[in-house]
Amino acid sequence: MIKIVKYLFILLFLNSCGYSPIYELNQKLDFKLGVINFSGDKKIGREIEKGLEKFKNNETQNIFDLDFVVTKKEVVATKDKKGDPSSFKKTIELDLDLTNKSNGKTFTKNFTKETTFSSMDNKFELDQYKNNIEKNMIFKILQDVNVFFNIIENDL
């Protein structure tokens, strides 16, 4: 009974204090992305652009142009005795430039995510695993970009 009361109290406290998670991807911000340009890895660039589309529909006077460069690297981290790769290291880097159309103020930020994973005997499963890891890394980068946009909004 006491546990239920404690959880109810915490729930009521969090709801009434205006709590909102910082990693929430569907937040309304007081700026709009105008033109989005990207270069580098096209597949990852399109995924990031698709994740940023929600910022193009805001109705506000703060309009920013976004340019970003995506770099993807995959290297062999370790090899076994035969010389076959036993683990890989994948890195995705996003260099973001945000320019305010009205006053020309520029914000620049670099986002990097990297992970190491083991090789598999089945190459099809390994490719599926690499794609899954890449999607997760893109999602984490989008969360970090969202936090960066929240910080920029506070500076406006």
- pLDDT tens, residue by residue, 58-96: 777 888 899 999 999 999 999 999 988 999 999 999 999
Where does the pLDDT of residue 21 fall: very low under 50, low under 70, confident under 90, or very high at 90 and above? Answer: low
Q: Does pLDDT of 14 surpass 70?
A: no
H or E element: which one contains 102? none
Residue ranges and CATH numbers for the domains of the chain are: 34-155 (3.30.160.150)
Residue 29: CB atoms within 10 A of its CB come to 17
Q: If DSSP codes are grouped into helix, strand and coil, which group holds residue 83?
A: coil
Name which of 12-16, 97-101, 110-114 the model is least confident about.
12-16
pLDDT in tens, 97-109: 999 888 888 999 9
Q: If DSSP codes are grouped into helix, strand and coil, which group holds residue 140?
A: helix
pTM for this predicted structure: 0.80
Q: Which residue has the higher pLDDT, 140 or 56?
A: 140
91 to 75, 83, 86, 102, 105: CA distances (angstroms): 9, 22, 17, 35, 30
Residues 102, 65 contacting (CB under 8 angstroms):
no
Contacts of 35 (CB under 8 A, 6+ apart): 65, 66
**Contacts for 24-29: CB closer than 8 Å, 24+ residues apart:** 24/146, 25/51, 25/54, 25/142, 25/143, 25/146, 26/54, 27/146, 27/150, 28/58, 29/55, 29/58, 29/149, 29/150, 29/153
